[in-house]
Amino acid sequence: MVCGAALLAAGIFMMGNGVTARALETEPDCKSAYSCDYGTGTVIYAKEETKRLPIASMCKIMTLLLSFEAADRGELDYGETVTVSENAASMGGSQVFLAAGLSYTVESLLKSIAVCSANDSCVAIAERIAGSETAFIDKMNARAKELGAENTLFANCTGLPKEPQYSCAKDVSAMLCELLKHEKYFDYTKIWTEDFEHPDGRKILMTNTNKLVRFYNGCDAGKTGFTNEAGSCLAATAKRGDMRIVSVVIGAENSKKRNAIVSSLFDEAFNGYENRIVLKAGEEIEARAAVAGSKVREMRLCAEKTLSVFGKKGESGDCSVEYKVEGLRAPVGKGDAAGEAVLFSNGIEVGRTKLVAMEDAPAFTWWDAFRETAKNWN
């Protein structure tokens, strides 16, 4: 089985072990495209994947990512209300027509960004998190650097045309992959239509701009984009079984073509590749950890995260798991780290996870220690 991160050179797609990946039968009619396995990062297809291009509203992926991360840190609460500024209410393009001076919940604002790409909600959230959109943009660019997005520069939080501002298909994929770590994001992206309710009684019907959530089997999230400069763009993800694929298209002629291209990238992945689990999270492994200072002499261990290999269907490979087990000293609690498991495919490391204790190992009591000493004396 083919595993590992892919390398791209001279238009030839090389997997991490040197096996050439299958290309699409017809090159997609767009400026740039990128498709990869979410679990391993293995590249399935790439076209001009690092070319700097305008990405329109796909930049809202970063706006949403920073919002969910702020909530995780306790700096933003989904139930709190945000009073909309004149600046936020004045945004053009796609919007839910927020009224300046009125207050909306963070939940409703984030939902409107994810579902119908509301520019006014983006600015309202940006101002709430960072004090101003300008300060928020600094956070966006800093986070992009942390993710290794070397060909990305944000000039606003909406994706509306403004120079200089650009990204690339590979960077967009990295940002979406990071956003997908937040389960609450899926609560919004699966919505097809829903009313956005204003505090003054108005209602605006939101319709999901990502049509694939309804018309492609397994698609459950993504972000669209369109401006005259960027063309039609889409970053989306689909999951079937244990395999999740992320695909990005920049600069398609229209929304119908961008949807068709992303669908073909998904088809290529699901029809031609498979994801085989080698080590499943939570399942006991054969290796044991020695425990000092406890009646529990050997600790049962399991993997914290699932390790799997991804590659073409029907192709075998040499996969192995190396356990690096640490000696433990009591007290040990269930879930405590006890080493690492490293997955190799054809001699190349393709993943690793912590090994954790499956039970408690309390330290000797005074009486336990006395009995142990007596036992050894005898």
HSE value, Cβ hemisphere, 13 Å, CA-based, for 85: 13
Q: Given 32, 35, 57, 67, which residue is catalytic?
A: 57
What is the SS3 assignment for the chain?
CCCCCCEEECCEEECCCCCECCCCCCCCCCCEEEEEECCCCCEEEEECCCCCECCHHHHHHHHHHHHHHHHHCCCCCCCCEEECCHHHHCCCCCCCCCCCCCEEEHHHHHHHHHHHCCHHHHHHHHHHHHCCHHHHHHHHHHHHHHCCCCCCECCCCCCCCCCCCEECHHHHHHHHHHHCCCHHHHHHHCCCEEEEECCCCCEEEEECCCCHHHHCCCEEEEEEEEECCCEEEEEEEEEECCEEEEEEEEEECCHHHHHHHHHHHHHHHHHHEEEEEEECCCCEEEEEEEEECCCCCEEEEEECCCEEEEEECCCCCCEEEEEEECCEECCECCCCEEEEEEEEECCEEEEEEEEEECCCECCCCHHHHHHHHHHHHC
Q: Given 108, 117, 167, 173, which residue is catalytic?
A: 117
The residues pairing with 308 across neighbouring beta strands, listed in sequence order, are: 277
In contact, 50 and 272? CB cutoff 8 Å: no
57: annotated active-site residue: yes
Q: Given 60, 170, 211, 223, which residue is catalytic?
A: 60
32: annotated active-site residue: no
263: annotated active-site residue: no
Residues with catalytic annotation?
A: 57, 60, 117
